Structure 1
Amino acid sequence: MTCDWNVLAVTTLARLLAPRGHVLVGTNAAAQMAGALLARELSGGRIRVSVIGSRKHSFLTDDLSEIFDCAARGRFDAFMIGGGQIDGQANINLVGVGQHPRMQVRWSGSHGTPLLYLMIPNIIIFRERHTREVMVDKVDFISTPGTSPAEVYRPGGPTGMLTGKGVFSFDKRTARFRLESLHPGIDLRDILQNTGFAFDHDEAPAATALPSNEVATLLRDAVCPEVAEIYPRFAQALSRGVDTHLAHASS
């Protein structure tokens, strides 16, 4: 059975966030917001979610320095980030392609991501596009490192990655990713061909779990209306994706 990408991504993020206590959601992060709010619903309200830019789901003001202060003080224990390039050591490049400063392609930049990546535990790297141009052997520029020397104070860092092809865990001791599951329609050969770095895996990796009808319904009825506060079009698309998923499940 296949699954709408938005539905699969959001429900997988919710599963990855299930053990956490206070999730920070950044900007331009529709799926991340939905995943965090679904995790909160599934936890019975135990998980706290703070969404930058939300009037309802944030105790933060418009002062970005407050976010960094809270992160440094350990107020958050989960966050999700993307990256233009990601390598096998979980180094993230948010600056551009090519040799700095004369890069062939320039992106928006790192902003406050380096501090959040170092201070917030249980970072999930979230990047739908899974190609060798994104999953590279070595990033062209390290905006923020996946691991740090032992003498560096660093409570935060990545624990996993969700892409359009699969779910990975990250071991900071070995600085390596491990493939945990493959999405529907994806096989191991596909991921190996589209990943520029080596990673650990079983000979026959598990399949990424699809949401139950109960979880999908909760997503549509309880979460989508909340997401619509900031991302109305995404909320509509996500709701339609749930309807399609439920229709396939009942056929």
Structure 2
Amino acid sequence: MAAIELLVSALARTLAGARTIAIGTNSPIPAAAALLAQARAAAPVEVMIIGSARHWPFTDGGRELFDFAAQGRLDAFVLGGGQIDRTGAINLVRAGKARFPGSFGSAYLYPLVPRIVLFRAEHTPRVLVERVEFASARGRPAALVTGKAVFGFAEGGFTLSSVHPGETADGIRAATGFALPAAAGPVPETPPPDAEDLALLHGPIAEDLAALYPRFVAQSLRAASR
């Protein structure tokens, strides 16, 4: 899998331009990406992270977030999935004997929020499947970021936008459980985080997330900066 900083910066680029970004529970990499997108933005960006004392403006749990989204005020949300299929459907319930955390509000937010970004660090045929065994939510994602690549989404499904350093387009196709359209030309490499990204991640963003995600910060952000 690509380095954490690369995944965070790649995910942050898919969130660029959003004015309001919400992140769900148990999502340290998306949370760091949202804060990086906020820090790098030219205009003010509001980031809402469930569980964060600093970045959660609501007092009545997820219900207020759903109302916020229904009013057209939420620009971007990051969703994951135990399975993700070629149509962008996600499975957050079960696959065979495996049980996932549950759908929560994904079915509501997916078709409602203008920019849904999918994220899953694991990139294998058991995760990226032809068809999910259970559809928790369906919609049209803006992008998919994995531990190997970044994908866009068109009418026919996912398209390969970039491969992470050390990966190849052929290798990505072999690790993906659904067919990908042929690229018009060479697939570019995912840009690495620049010096400013790294300074933000290892400094103020690590400090910001330390209370909510202490292990992630200690093992992935602060450890990487040594």
TM band (smaller chain): over 0.9
Equivalence for 2:45: 47
Residues 206, 222 of structure 2: 8 Å contact kept: no
Question: 2:71 corresponds to which residue?
Answer: 73
SS at match of 1:70: helix
Letter in 1 for 2:125: R
Deviation at 1:4, TM superposition (A): 5.9
What is the aligned partner in structure 2 of residue 116 from structure 1? 109
Q: Which has the larger radius of gyration?
A: 1
Cα distance between partner residues in 1 of 2:51 and 2:218? 19
The aligned amino acid for 1:42 is R
- One-letter code aligned to 1:118: P
Residues 88-129 of structure 1, C-alpha deviations (whole Å, 9 max, x = no match): 10011111114xxxxx33322211111011111111100011
User: What is the deviation of 1:229?
Assistant: 2.3
Q: CA RMSD in A?
A: 1.7
Deviations 1:59-111 (A, max 9, x none): 1114321121111111211011110111110011111114xxxxx33322211
Opposite residue 184 of structure 1, the aligned amino acid is: P
Deviates more, 1:59-68 or 1:46-55: 59-68
Q: Does 1:25 align with 2:23?
A: yes
Question: 2:207 matched to 1:225?
Answer: yes
Counterpart of 2:160? 179
In the alignment, which residue of structure 1 is the partner of 2:172? 191
Equivalence map 1:6-155=2 (5 Å): 6-44=4-42, 46-98=44-96, 104-146=97-139
TM-score normalised to the size of structure 1? Answer: 0.84
SS of residue in 1 equivalent to 2:176: coil
* Residue aligning to 1:210: 192
| Structure 2: gaps of 5 or more residues | none
Deviation >3 Å, runs of 4+: none
Say if 2:181 is the partner of 1:200: yes
Residue of structure 1 in register with 2:218 after alignment? 236
Identity over the aligned pairs, expressed in percent?
Answer: 40
TM-score normalised to the size of structure 2? 0.93
Give the Cα separation in 2 of the matches to 1:239 and 1:115: 33
Distance 1:175 1:67, change over 3 A: farther
Residue aligned with 1:243, SS: coil
- CA displacement at 1:214 relative to structure 2: 2.1
